[in-house]
Amino acid sequence: MDAETLKALKESIEHHKRLKSCRTRIEINNEGYNAESCSLCKKFYKYHGCKGCPVEKSTNLVNCSNTPYHELRIAIVTSGDKDLVKGSYLAPYHDAEIEFLESLLPEEECLHESEENNDSGAAP
């Protein structure tokens, strides 16, 4: 994976972590939950129709098909404000998307991040 793609993947993971912390519809809309708010989509979808995206390489499909993203998007759109406030309703959808994206990181990046967590005193 080239450095620019790795950067976009990490930014997408961080985006979904921020999205998970949103508790109002306004916060969700400001963070965004579509291709316009995804660093991978900005790099690959707009100009290449997903060709070369790590998600597309993993699934052999375009538009994040067969990934947790679509269930997350449906859950966001159909959730009520009370569901958003408590946060737990959407958490499993966010967790699945974050876990999926993290699974696309090159192995050496996963090891590097684990070492950084150990150095900072955090659990791996």
Q: Between residues 99 and 118, which one has the greater pLDDT?
A: 99
- Output the pLDDT for position 95: 96
- Output the pLDDT for position 108: 75
Which amino acid is residue 84, in one-letter code? L
Mean pLDDT of the chain: 85
Model confidence over 76-95: pLDDT tens digits?
A: 888 877 767 666 788 899 99
Contact in structure between 66 and 59 (CB atoms under 8 Å) = yes
User: How far, rounded to the nearest angstrom, does the alpha carbon of residue 59 sit from its chain's CA centroid?
Assistant: 15
pLDDT value at 4 more than 60: yes
Contact in structure between 9 and 40 (CB atoms under 8 Å) = yes
Taking the C-alpha atoms of residue 44 and residue 8, their distance in angstroms, rounded to an integer, is: 10
Helices assigned H by DSSP within the chain: 3-21, 25-31, 39-48, 54-59, 69-78, 81-86, 91-103, 107-119
